Amino acid sequence: MKLGVFSYNTEYGIRPDTLARALEERGFESLWVGEHTHIPAERKTPYPGGGDLPRPYYHMADPFVSLMAAASATKDLRIGTAVSLIPQHDPIVLAKTIGTLDYLSGGRFILGIGGGWNAEECEDHGVAFKDRWKVLRERVQAMKELWTNEEASFHGEFVNFDRAISFPKPVQSPHPRILFGGATENGRKRVVEYCDGWFPIDILLDDLPPAIADLKEKAKAAGRDPESIEVDIFAFDVRDPDILKRYRDMGIERVVIYSPRAEEKVMPWLDNLAPQIAAVA
């Protein structure tokens, strides 16, 4: 099992290139950053975690620019979005951005995706919140066409273009792995339909083994090989090393652990966590 680290990636926290170097030096597999283009100043949507929206959500840097900085500072470290809010992006532009990032990083990018929880943020991008899942699906499918064809066309309810030529193509074939971040049963349906893996947050799942079994059953019913769909986990608290071992024994391929928000706490935290890499490999 591989261990990665999630950073809130704020301008007042640790820089992504600094963190990336520290991760690679200690043997971690990957660095992940989130995405919020902005937070509407007048917002009715409640924070899913309860209470006030934490400060980092207002300060997240652009994930793709940040991951390019991380890739430039390392040789082998994987880089990923956790998660990119696809309904907030033009698919032609995002396909170009991801193709470029994968090319310049030497094929190290992983695309974690989600629809977002903030209705006002989504609607500021011209997407009705109720339509976000349909928009996400079409934009992912359209990007796949752009990544895998010399000339791509796509015609859907929300995305339409004819004979588009887009380079550079991603280094990874046919494209970077796409991981869906939703923890619900509907999320698992979306994984099976158009993604390569499932990437839920651990605290949103009451019982992980039945959820994994459900994912595999859905894959079989759709004619997909269940073993081709990776299962990764976001983990908030792994101070107990047995938690990581339990995830490994469940067949989890990667655990991504939330790093401390305060920059001065990050390096000691990494030093304490690094011995677990060998313990769960």
Task: Report percent pLDDT > 70 for the chain.
Answer: 100
Which pLDDT score, from 0 to 100, does residue 119 have?
A: 98
Q: What pLDDT sits at residue 240?
A: 81
178: alpha, beta or left? (left if phi > 0; alpha if psi -120 to 50) = beta
| Long-range Cβ contacts of 216-220 (<8 Å, 24+ apart) | 218/188, 218/189, 218/191, 218/192, 219/192
CA angle 179, 33, 61 (to 5 degrees): 135
Q: Which pLDDT value is given to residue 63?
A: 98
pLDDT at residue 238 in the model: 84
pLDDT the model gives residue 204: 81
Separation of alpha carbons 136 and 206, rounded Å: 26
For range 162-186, the mean pLDDT: 97
Dump pLDDT digits (tens) for 249-259: 999 999 999 99
What percent of the chain has pLDDT above 90? 94
Cα-Cα-Cα-Cα dihedral sign, residues 237, 243, 244, 249: negative
pLDDT in tens, 226-249: 999 999 999 987 878 799 999 999
Above 80 in pLDDT, residue 111? yes
pLDDT surpasses 90 at 206: no
If you write DSSP's letter for every residue of 72-120 in order, what string do you get? Answer: HT-SS-EEEES-EEGGGS-HHHHHHHHHHHHHHTTS-EEEEEE--S-HH
Mean pLDDT score, 102-117:
98
Per-residue model confidence (pLDDT) at position 48? 92
Mean pLDDT of the chain: 96
Question: Residue 45: phi, psi to the nearest 5?
Answer: -65, 125
- For the stretch 121-143, pLDDT in tens is 999 999 999 999 999 999 999 99
What pLDDT, in 10s, does the model give residues 22-74?
Answer: 999 999 999 999 999 999 999 999 999 899 999 999 999 999 999 999 999 99
> In this predicted structure, what is the pLDDT of residue 236?
84
Could you tell me the pTM of the whole model? 0.97
Instruction: Say how far apart CA 17 and CA 19 lie, in whole Å.
Output: 5
Is residue 89 within 8 Å of residue 113, measured between CB atoms? no
Provide the pLDDT for residue 203.
83
Give tens-digit pLDDT for 143-157: 999 999 999 999 999
